[in-house]
Amino acid sequence: MQPTVNAINAVYREARIRMAKKTVSESDETRLKKKVAAKLADHKNPKEDEALRSLRKRLRRTQRKRRTLALRKKNSASKKTVAPAAK
């Protein structure tokens, strides 16, 4: 017996709602920092660990995103305040 289209749509809708309601108690950056610190604690040679390297790369990527977003907001805010004053 095959499920009806409505039943399939209902399942997809529930999955989308569950994904949308996912709350983040801590940011990706702090979670990655904790993971990196935990991995570093029990390593003899961290330079050879590929998993640690990928975690650090992800951490750097999230930090870079946060910094670029902050710069973008700062630059757009300064342009918005300067434009009305120039008139």
Q: Give dist(CA 18, CA 48) in Å, integer.
A: 38
Half-sphere exposure of 18 (CA within 13 A, CB side): 6
Q: Where exactly are the structural domains of the chain?
A: 26-86
- Per the CB < 8 A criterion, the answer to whether 34 and 58 are in contact is no
State the virtual CA torsion across 26, 29, 35, 38 in degrees, nearest 10. Answer: -100
> Angle at the Cα of 62 (from 59 to 64), degrees rounded to 5?
105
**pLDDT tens-digit series, residues 18-62:** 655 555 566 889 999 999 999 888 778 878 888 899 999 999 999
Cα(first)–Cα(last) distance of the chain, in Å? 71
Residue 11 is predicted with a pLDDT of 75
Record the pTM: 0.59
